[in-house]
Amino acid sequence: MDLYRAHVLVCGGKECTDANSEAIINIFNKELKKQGLEKEVQVIKTGCFNLCHAGPICIVYPEGAFYSQVKTTDVPVIVQEHLVKGKIVKDLLYKGSFEKGIVSSLNNVDFYKKQTRIALRNCGVIDPENIKEYIAMGGYQALGKVLTEMEPMEVVKAVQESGLRGRGGGGFPTGKKWEFAHKIKDDQKYVVCNADEGDPGAFMDRSILEGDPHAVVEAMTIAGYAIGASEGYVYVRAEYPIAVKRLKIAIKQAKELGLLGENIFNTGFNFDLKIRLGAGAFVCGEETALLNSIEGKRGMPRPRPPFPAIKGLWMKPTLLSNVETYANIPQIILKGADWFSSIGTVKSKGTKVFALTGKINNTGLVEIPMGTTLREVIYDIGGGIPNGKKFKAVQTGGPSGGCITKDHLDTPIDYDNLIELSSMMGSGGMVVMDEDNCMVDVAKFFLEFTMDESCGKCPPCRIGTKRMYELLEKMTNGEAQPGDIEKLEELAYNIKASALCGLGQSAPNPILSTLRFFRDEYEAHVNDKRCPAGVCQGLLTFTIDAELCKKCGICANKCPVECISGEKGKVVYSIDKNKCIKCGACLEACPFKAIKKG
Amino acid sequence: MKSLEDLSKIREEAISEMGIHDNSKDIRIVVGMATCGISAGAKPVFQALNDEIKTRNLKNVKVIQTGCIGVCRFEPIIEIYDAGKEKVTYIEMTPEKARKVISEHIVNGNVIDDYTIGNVK
């Protein structure tokens, strides 16, 4: 097969054909031949672009240059300028709503342009409470294809060949899990969906369940057929009432149409789906704790092996995947494993959904192809850091992940690259931090979370996270002693090596990664009793710059504890550090920026 | 559901009901109503759109709820799909703005630039 360096897409919809798009295609082919480019550039007739008023339309890839109202005489110009010289012919580009200088459609905003939507394809497009809208978008076609045309092992193979890896955090090859569960023989197997999304700042799974619940229902039914299971459970946290409600509606509608239940597509295949509500314990997102919780036991992890694919729910073989992983399955079946594996990097295929939060302009939900750089996500899609502040780090992987600094912003995002940077993909939370964030404080925040959420089964996690938290508290209060950083580091490595489940093992990660990249901040806290970002209240001091002070006395009026002295118009004001409660009221009040925090 | 043909039949029906085929005369208004949208006030917006359509007796306009549109920062968001035209994204909606969208955009055919996503940049 010839590899083309460029593609010209010409609209073959009705309106464009009426407006002479056939002739345009012919001239394109003729001109390309003239330039000897017929082996380098391919001309393709496409379906309607839904922009018929701007037709005839052609788009030239890879640039994606969008030419509208193309006349036959424009074609030689496009070939000569764009395809030979590589210069986009700006005069012929689509102007549409740009004419007024205003973009009216979300599709034209930078936020959307770099995204590829597979798992989120229907989110924000269809009514999630109406199964017919899902079907109109091609829903349940994959299930029909699987049941009527494919053997279970073929389905497993397709998932394997797609290269899909678990989107919940670890990145284990999904196809391998399917194969284990398929091959083991048992009278009863289960399919389970992990929708117990608990990372602070993450809301990908919630959004998929709220926006496209049928995708998960369809994928789990496909999985049931592939591994030979007739029953499935979705474990979703009760804090997601809208997701739960829409999922319930989806299951009910699928049952009414016979897409769940008995004898689906008249093939004799039965599959039933149930919902189990989690009470919100973070540890229940850990797969073995989740299985215990479904069984009605206390949500605590079990030792692995045996892995759930061998002995899972009620000790039966169980396929357990995350919401986003499932949401990719119907598209893989419909469009093929080759299509899916053509997106992404060598070892990480497809796309990943991220929840962008923190100090970023465009807070929201984005789906990007693997291999997109962090810089593109934060600056091009996320719109950069608000208020002109400097970027400091981005936290990925939630409480199990770590921070990535500006030196690594050009790293293409995939499972292995993030692990190399001592962070991880995690479920997809991306918390952006700017110069005003103290990294010791950030580590303390995540530690407080894991400490609270530790289930208490194993001592390294139960006692260890508490001890680490105490050390961090000492540091942020200005009570740390020399050697505390080393103590913290040693403790972190010991917990990593000895905790029972993934949550305990990864609990020290936020500390280790901030220590790796921001050791100077820890040292400032311990040795100089200073918080460089000015966050840790225990370490703050407020001072008045005598040269900048205009003796106006506003600060003294605002101070709630009367610790600022001076005389209006005569004596420069100063703060009594022993009485100061570090509330920052004076800093805000000073019209001359004479008060410094540090 | 007994066969792929059954599914195709439902699909055809659904496509025509949704008004997403090329020569549809229907206008489809979707309101972002995931947690992010609802917490930003999408429910009163949804209500206002429906009320306005009912008062004006607009037969070819459908208002539906949808999941997270993605730019949670700008919720409540509504998007207008009208076959043959580019989708229009209105952001930071209120019931009052939503009513104006119906009168200006849907009835009179003028996109209200001030409310669109391009205007906040």
Q: Residue B18: what pLDDT?
A: 83
* Domain spanning B22-119, CATH class: alpha beta
Residue A105, token pair as written in the block: 């459609």
Pick the closest to residue A511 from A394, A392, A397, A402 (CA basis).
A402
Does residue A343 lie within any of the structural domains?
no
Does residue A72 lie within any of the structural domains?
yes
Interface of A with B in 530-589 (CB under 8 A): none
Work out the mean pLDDT of chain B and round it to a whole number.
90
Residue A39 distance to chain B (closest CA, Å) = 34
Instruction: Give the nearest partner residue to A132 out of B10, B22, B86, using CB atoms.
Output: B10
Quote the CA–CA distance of A559 and A555 in Å, as a whole number: 6
Is A103 in the B-facing interface, judged by CB distances under 8 Å? yes
Q: Are residues A457 and A426 in the same domain?
A: no
Is A364 within 8 Å of B70 (Cβ atoms)? Answer: yes
In chain B, which residues have their Cβ closer than 8 Å to the Cβ of A114?
none
Residue B45 distance to chain A (closest CA, Å) = 16
Quote the CA–CA distance of A200 and A206 in Å, as a whole number: 13
Q: Are residues A21 and A86 in the same domain?
A: yes
Q: Are residues A228 and A246 in the same domain?
A: yes
Quote the CA–CA distance of A510 and A393 in Å, as a whole number: 12
Q: Residue A541: what pLDDT?
A: 84
The CATH number covering residue A579 comes to 3.30.70.20
Nearest chain A Cα to B62, which residue? A127
Q: Using one digit for the tens of pLDDT, what is the confidence trace for A516-525? A: 999 999 999 9
Task: Please determine, for residue A97, whether its predicted confidence score (pLDDT) is greater than 70.
Answer: no
Is A139 within 8 Å of B15 (Cβ atoms)? Answer: no
Does residue A30 lie within any of the structural domains?
yes
**Could you tell me the pLDDT band of residue B28, with boundaries at 50, 70 and 90?**
very high
Q: Using one digit for the tens of pLDDT, what is the confidence trace for A64-88? A: 777 888 888 888 888 888 888 878 7
Q: Are residues A192 and A307 in the same domain?
A: yes
Which residues, 6+ apart, have CB-to-CB distance to B97 below 8 Å?
B90, B115
Residue A263, token pair as written in the block: 């004898």
Q: Residue A499: what pLDDT?
A: 94
Is A595 within 8 Å of A564 (Cβ atoms)? Answer: no
Does residue A225 lie within any of the structural domains?
yes
Give the residue-averaged pLDDT of A335-344. 95
The CATH number covering residue A143 comes to 3.40.50.11540
Residue B9, token pair as written in the block: 């039949």
Task: Please determine, for residue A497, whether its predicted confidence score (pLDDT) is greater than 70.
Answer: yes
Please say which residue of A477, A501, A527 terminates a domain: A527
Domain range spanning residue A80? 6-101
Residue A297, token pair as written in the block: 């036991």
3-state secondary structure A304-337: CCCCCCCCCHHHCCEEEEEHHHHHHHHHHHHHCH
Does residue A67 lie within any of the structural domains?
yes
Residue A575, token pair as written in the block: 């703060």
Instruction: Give the nearest partner residue to A265 out of B1, B11, B85, using CB atoms.
Output: B1
Task: Please determine, for residue A59, whether its predicted confidence score (pLDDT) is greater than 90.
Answer: no
Instruction: Give the nearest partner residue to A125 out of B66, B111, B121, using CB atoms.
Output: B66
Structure letter (DSSP) for residue A276: E
Q: Using one digit for the tens of pLDDT, what is the confidence trace for A418-464? A: 988 888 888 899 999 999 999 999 999 999 999 999 999 999 999 99
Quote the CA–CA distance of A89 and B101 in Å, as a whole number: 36
Q: Are residues A177 and A201 in the same domain?
A: yes
Does residue A54 lie within any of the structural domains?
yes
In chain A, which residues have their Cβ closer than 8 Å to the Cβ of B71?
106, 109, 111, 362, 364
Give the residue-averaged pLDDT of A43-69. 74
Q: Are residues A429 and A448 in the same domain?
A: no
Give the residue-averaged pLDDT of B13-39. 87
What percent of chain B stands above pLDDT 70? 98
For chain A, how many structural domains are there in total?
5
Q: Are residues A585 and A456 in the same domain?
A: no
Nearest chain B Cα to A245, which residue? B34
The C-alpha R_g of chain B, in whole angstroms, comes to 15
What is the helix (H) or strand (E) element at residue A441, kind and residue range?
A: helix A439-453
Is A429 in the B-facing interface, judged by CB distances under 8 Å? no
Sign for the CA dihedral angle at A130, A133, A139, A140 comes to: positive
- Measured CA to CA in angstroms, residue A345 lies from A170, A306, A359, A370 at distances of 17, 31, 28, 6
CB neighbours of residue A314 within 10 Å = 11
Please say which residue of A400, A434, A468 terminates a domain: A434
Is B110 in the A-facing interface, judged by CB distances under 8 Å? no
Instruction: Give the nearest partner residue to A242 out of B22, B35, B79, using CB atoms.
Output: B35
Please say which residue of A54, A84, A101 terminates a domain: A101
In chain A, which residues have their Cβ closer than 8 Å to the Cβ of B11?
135-136, 138, 141
Residue A244, token pair as written in the block: 């739960």
Q: Are residues A497 and A587 in the same domain?
A: no
Provide ipTM, 2 decimals. 0.88
Q: Are residues A323 and A455 in the same domain?
A: no
**8 Å CB contact of A123 and B68:** yes
Coil, helix or strand at residue A574? strand
Interface of A with B in 45-74 (CB under 8 A): 48, 50-53
Q: Residue A149: what pLDDT?
A: 95
**8 Å CB contact of A136 and B15:** yes
Is A42 in the B-facing interface, judged by CB distances under 8 Å? no
**8 Å CB contact of B87 and A107:** yes
Instruction: Give the nearest partner residue to B64 out of A123, A127, A140, using CB atoms.
Output: A127
Burial grade of A1 (CB within 10 A; 0-12, 13-18, 19 or more): exposed
Residue B57 distance to chain A (closest CA, Å) = 22
Is B9 in the A-facing interface, judged by CB distances under 8 Å? no
Q: Which residue has the higher pLDDT, A547 or A87?
A: A547
Where do the domains of chain B lie?
22-119
User: Which residues does residue A78 pair with via DSSP β-bridges, in sequence order?
Assistant: none
User: If phi over 0 gives left and psi between -120 and 50 gives alpha, with beta otherwise, what is residue A388?
Assistant: left
Q: Using one digit for the tens of pLDDT, what is the confidence trace for A15-45? A: 677 778 888 888 888 888 888 888 888 888 7
Q: Are residues A411 and A445 in the same domain?
A: no
Structure letter (DSSP) for residue A46: E
Work out the mean pLDDT of chain A and round it to a whole number.
90
Task: Please determine, for residue A211, whether its predicted confidence score (pLDDT) is greater than 90.
Answer: yes
Does residue A427 lie within any of the structural domains?
yes
Nearest chain A Cα to B86, which residue? A51
The CATH number covering residue A391 comes to 3.10.20.600
Coil, helix or strand at residue A187? coil
Task: Please determine, for residue A502, whether its predicted confidence score (pLDDT) is greater than 60.
Answer: yes
Task: Please determine, for residue A273, whether its predicted confidence score (pLDDT) is greater than 70.
Answer: yes
Does residue A18 lie within any of the structural domains?
yes
**8 Å CB contact of A148 and B4:** yes
Is B58 in the A-facing interface, judged by CB distances under 8 Å? no
